[in-house]
Chain A
C-alpha cells in the first residue's frame, strides 16, 4: 500500500504523504458515512470540484485498495489515542484473565480492572469507542460499562446476550463510533 499502512485493523495515513492525503480527504468526503477522520484540508474541498475529485480518486486509489478502505474506520491516531488504547487493552486483558471463569456477573463488574475502565471512560469519552470495538471483536459483558458511560441502554428488554451485543453494536454504528 503506497499511501496508507494497516495498523491493527485500522488504517493510518502518514501526515507526510501530502498529495495522497488530499485524495484521502476527498475519499472521506465521498464516503463520509463510512469513514471517520481527516480534519485538516477538508475546508479546501467543495462540491463543485466533484469531477476533479473523482479524477484524484482514480489516480490515488486503486480499485482494490478503495474497497478495502471503505470497510474500515479511518483514524488518524495521535500519540494520546495510542496511549489510551494501550491502557484500555491492558485493563481489558487483565479483566478477562482474572474474571474469565467467573459465573456471576457481579463478580465481573466489581473487578478492579473493570472499575478502572469505568473511571478512565469518565475522563476520556473515546473509551466508549474502544469498548465498542472490543465488543465487536470479542463479545463480552461490556454492557454495564456502556450503560454507565453513555447513559443510554439500547439493549433494554432484550432476551439474550447476543441480542444485547447486536443492539449495542447497532447503536455504535448509528452514532458512527464503529464501522
Chain B
C-alpha cells in the first residue's frame, strides 16, 4: 500500500449498501467508508502492520502472505492471534473506552468458528487517535466506525463477540494527534 492510499483512508465516504447488508448495525453507528475494496490485505495486516500490509494468517496460502516466524504456523487458535498483538507490545485490558495515552485493538471471535467448543478468531480492529475505530472488512473496504458493537453479532457477516481488548502506549506522534483531536472537540 502506497502513501497515497494511506492518505486516502483519512477521507470518509458514505457506506456502500453491500456493507450495510453484511453488517446491518453499521448504519446506526454512523460508520463511513475510508478506502476502496481490496483483497491485497486483511484486517490483521491493517491493524497489526499498517506500514507493511503483508501480514495475513498462520498458514501461507499465497506467496504474498506473511506471518511472524516466532509464532506457530498453521495454528488458528484464538491465543495465537492474541499473541501476535502481545508480541507487538499490547497487553490485555478491560474496556474499549478511549484512553489518551494508549492505543487499543479489539479482537472478535465466534464460538466454534474453526474448532468445536473453542473460540475462533474472526476479526480485529484498532482505535484511531480520534477515538473512533478502523476496520478492514474481509475482502471489502476499510471503514471508520464509532463503536465496537457495530460489527459484533451473528447476523449476516457479523464477527461474533468482542473477546479481547488490548492496549499499548502511544508513540509521540499519536499523542500529538490526540491533543489535536481533543482541542478540535472543544470547538
User: A residues engaging B (CB < 8 A)?
Assistant: 100-107, 109, 139-141, 143-144, 155-162, 164
Q: How far is the CB of B51 from chain A (nearest CB, A)?
A: 16
- In the complex, what residue of chain B is closest to A104 when comparing beta carbons? B57
- Stretch of B3-11, B94-102, B134-142, B177-185 lying at the A interface: B134-142
User: B residues engaging A (CB < 8 A)?
Assistant: 22-23, 38-40, 42-44, 56-57, 59, 61-65, 76, 113-114, 121-124, 136-140, 156-157, 159
Query: Known contacts A101-B137, A158-B63; can you find 4 more A-B pairs with CB under 8 A?
Result: A103-B122, A106-B59, A140-B139, A155-B62
Q: What are 12 residue pairs bridging A and B, where the CB atoms are less than 8 Å apart in the complex?
A: A100-B140, A104-B121, A105-B56, A105-B57, A105-B59, A106-B76, A143-B61, A143-B62, A144-B61, A158-B63, A158-B64, A161-B40
Q: How many Å lie between the Cα of A102 and that of B157 in the bound state?
A: 8
When distances are taken between beta carbons in the complex, the residues of chain B under 8 Å from A105 are 56-57, 59, 61-62, 65
Q: How far is the CB of B16 from chain A (nearest CB, A)?
A: 13
Q: How many Å lie between the Cα of A109 and that of B65 in the bound state?
A: 15
When distances are taken between beta carbons in the complex, the residues of chain B under 8 Å from A101 are 22-23, 137-138, 140, 156-157, 159
When distances are taken between beta carbons in the complex, the residues of chain A under 8 Å from B140 are 100-101
Chain A at the B interface: mostly helix, strand, loop or mixed? Answer: loop
Contact of A103 among B22, B43, B59 (CB under 8 A): B43
> Which among B22, B44, B64, B65 has the greatest number of chain A C-beta atoms within 10 A?
B64
- In the complex, what residue of chain B is closest to A101 when comparing beta carbons? B157
Contact B57 A141 (CB under 8 A): no
A139 touching B76 in the complex, CB below 8 Å, given contacts A144-B61, A157-B63, A159-B64 = no
Contact A103 B42 (CB under 8 A): yes
- In the complex, what residue of chain B is closest to A158 when comparing beta carbons? B63
Contact A106 B57 (CB under 8 A): yes
> Which among A107, A144, A162 has the greatest number of chain B C-beta atoms within 10 A?
A107
Contact A106 B40 (CB under 8 A): no
